[in-house]
């Protein structure tokens, strides 16, 4: 297949070394791999543990809610604890969150799964401003809340021997910025920080997600109905206890879902939380961009893409409002607003120094992840060296089931917590 040939050329050019030796290939395209993580049920051969839904009490928010929710997987004995930051709009009980939490819980660790910082709930309860999605700012907000959460967990008798931090997708970027704060403040002194499939150039990644969503949006209503019907067929074929790539590939074929259909569904999945974030930001701090009428505002919020959110709302807030200008000076330094600076400091390039100098940090990534390119991999390799573990395939988060991925992830914690 053409994508497999291109992948081989890409891997040779990026100099992946021997890090992926013994990797169990799936034969899936990058977008098919990515789609696989929505059907993950439980780590193979392990008892599935649901965890406990808990909340951290905070001052009452705009929503009238004052509990920042998280999910706790705890042992009855002393153990290391790993905080897990999820991706854009992800919930603590999402499939990928539960899958990774069960892996780490099965290896003997307490796990706390945190809700995405890119959500209206986080904006209401814990964020520095309503304009979430600035990874460096969101990390500061979340880190300070985790200090309170740490006191609460220890006060309830949870026995923690060491602290670890992990994140996937956008949550990996937030975790990277939290690691930098922990280096300065030392409230946790994380023994290990593992970043799974972080975007490098954040705007470039968001444009790709907008592009995928556009593939879905441009379809006629009749074809959208057909795609959803095919999706339901796929779900029906995947009702099994454990994920298997061969079954996944067969189910995709039998369902009739095309590569274009899958791309559109992936874009639709990632866009899930954006409308609520946009709507909430304008309810709290109206910039006059969207209609005033609630129904029209809600519709306009759902039409806005990621790049528009950054360009029309976040940038306008940081440039033109007293609160935004103050936030810019606090987190981005002197000088006026710059889109390049906003993107660089909130993406992986803003973490270059800590990548080079903090040997607690390891990045696990896939060479065919559509959110990165050859230049991004070169950046990661130059700044992380052997602490970049690059797998030959998996798309974006599409190899969590893979034994090689799980072995390398387990190894990071075992070496750190021994």
Which domain CATH number covers 130? 3.40.50.1820
Same domain, 291 and 150: no
Does 12 fall in a domain?
no
Q: Angle CA(165)–CA(76)–CA(151) in degrees, nearest 5?
A: 50
Sign of CA dihedral 280, 286, 289, 295: positive
> Alpha carbon of 260 to those of 214, 236, 265: distances in Å?
11, 21, 9
Residue 230 has pLDDT above 50, yes or no: yes
Does 65 fall in a domain?
yes
Residue 1 has pLDDT above 70, yes or no: no
* Mean predicted confidence (pLDDT) in 332-358: 94
Same domain, 182 and 195: yes
Distance CA 328, CA 332 (A): 5
Distance CA 347, CA 147 (A): 24
- Taking CB atoms within 8 Å and a gap of at least 24, the contacts of 250-256 are 252/32, 252/35, 255/230, 255/231, 256/230
Same domain, 263 and 134: no
* Mean predicted confidence (pLDDT) in 197-219: 96
Distance CA 264, CA 260 (A): 6
Distance CA 200, CA 155 (A): 38
H or E segment to which residue 5 belongs: helix 2-14
pLDDT in tens, 283-329: 888 999 999 999 999 999 999 999 999 999 999 999 999 999 999 99
Domain boundary among 322, 343, 364: 343
Distance CA 28, CA 401 (A): 13
* Mean predicted confidence (pLDDT) in 241-246: 75
* Mean predicted confidence (pLDDT) in 166-173: 97
Return the pLDDT at 67.
Answer: 66
Name which of 54-68, 172-186, 207-221, 340-354 the model is least confident about.
54-68
Return the pLDDT at 13.
Answer: 40
Does 407 fall in a domain?
yes
Return the pLDDT at 5.
Answer: 39
Instruction: Name the residue among 390, 372, 388, 379 with its Cα closest to residue 353.
Output: 379
Confidence label for 3 from pLDDT (cuts 50, 70 and 90): very low
Return the pLDDT at 45.
Answer: 56
Same domain, 166 and 292: no
Same domain, 329 and 396: no
Same domain, 186 and 253: no
Does 310 fall in a domain?
yes
Does 8 fall in a domain?
no
Domain limits at 273? 205-343
Return the pLDDT at 356.
Answer: 97
> What dihedral do alpha carbons 30, 31, 37, 43 form, nearest 10°?
-30
Does 168 fall in a domain?
yes
Return the pLDDT at 418.
Answer: 87
Same domain, 97 and 169: yes
Return the pLDDT at 159.
Answer: 97
Residue 17 has pLDDT above 80, yes or no: no
Total residues found in the chain within this entry: 418
Sign of CA dihedral 219, 223, 228, 231: negative
Residue 272 has pLDDT above 90, yes or no: no
Instruction: Name the residue among 133, 129, 101 with its Cα closest to residue 117.
Output: 133
Residue 189 has pLDDT above 60, yes or no: yes
- What proportion of the chain, given as a percentage, has pLDDT over 90? 71
- The mean of the pLDDT values for the chain is 88
Residue pair 125/68 in contact (Cβ under 8 Å)? The answer is yes
Does 29 fall in a domain?
no
Same domain, 273 and 375: no
Same domain, 196 and 79: yes
Name the domain count of the chain.
2
Domain boundary among 343, 368, 402: 343
Domain boundary among 343, 370, 394: 343
Residue 213 has pLDDT above 90, yes or no: yes
Same domain, 91 and 195: yes
Return the pLDDT at 39.
Answer: 73
Residue 248 has pLDDT above 60, yes or no: yes
Does 20 fall in a domain?
no
pLDDT in tens, 42-95: 666 566 677 777 766 555 444 455 567 889 999 999 999 999 999 998 888 888
| Strand ranges, E, within 11-66 | 52-57
Instruction: Name the residue among 112, 119, 100, 122 with its Cα closest to residue 149.
Output: 112
Same domain, 331 and 247: yes
Same domain, 92 and 191: yes
């Amino acid at each position: 297949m053409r994508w497999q040939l291109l992948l081989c050329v890409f891997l040779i050019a990026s100099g992946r070394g021997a890090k992926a030796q013994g990797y169990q290939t799936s034969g899936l395209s990058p977008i098919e791999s990515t789609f696989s993580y929505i059907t993950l049920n439980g780590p193979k051969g392990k008892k599935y543990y649901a965890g406990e839904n808990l909340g951290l009490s905070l001052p009452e928010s705009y929503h009238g809610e004052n509990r920042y929710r998280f999910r706790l997987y705890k042992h009855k004995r002393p153990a290391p604890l790993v905080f897990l930051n999820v991706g854009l709009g992800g919930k603590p009980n999402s499939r990928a969150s539960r899958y990774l939490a069960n892996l780490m819980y099965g290896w003997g660790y307490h796990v706390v799964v945190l809700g995405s910082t890119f959500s209206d709930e986080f904006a209401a309860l814990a964020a520095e401003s309503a304009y979430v999605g600035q990874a460096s700012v969101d990390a500061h907000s979340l880190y300070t809340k985790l200090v309170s959460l740490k006191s609460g967990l220890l006060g309830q008798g949870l026995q923690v021997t060491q602290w670890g931090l992990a994140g996937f997708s956008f949550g990996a970027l937030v975790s990277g910025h939290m690691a930098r704060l922990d280096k300065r403040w030392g409230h946790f002194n994380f023994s290990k920080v593992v970043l799974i499939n972080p975007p490098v150039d954040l705007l470039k990644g968001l444009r790709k997600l907008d592009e995928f969503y556009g593939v879905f949006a441009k379809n006629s209503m009749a074809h959208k109905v057909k795609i959803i019907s095919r999706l339901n067929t796929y779900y029906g074929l995947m009702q099994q206890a454990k994920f298997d790539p061969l079954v996944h590939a067969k189910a995709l074929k039998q369902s009739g879902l095309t590569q274009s259909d899958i791309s559109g569904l992936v874009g639709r999945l990632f866009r899930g939380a954006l409308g609520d974030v946009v709507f909430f930001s304008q309810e709290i701090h109206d910039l006059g961009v969207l209609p005033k009428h609630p129904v029209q505002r809600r519709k306009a919020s759902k039409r806005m893409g990621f790049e528009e959110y950054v360009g029309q709302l976040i940038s306008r807030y940081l440039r033109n409002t007293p609160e935004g200008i103050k936030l810019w000076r606090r987190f981005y330094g002197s000088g006026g607003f710059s889109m390049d600076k906003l993107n660089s400091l909130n993406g992986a390039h803003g973490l270059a120094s800590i990548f080079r100098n903090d040997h607690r940090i390891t990045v696990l990534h896939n060479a065919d992840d559509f959110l990165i390119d050859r230049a991004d991999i070169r950046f990661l390799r130059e700044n992380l060296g052997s602490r970049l573990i690059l797998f030959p395939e998996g798309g974006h988060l599409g190899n969590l089931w893979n034994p090689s991925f799980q072995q390398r992830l387990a190894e990071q914690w075992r070496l750190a917590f021994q």
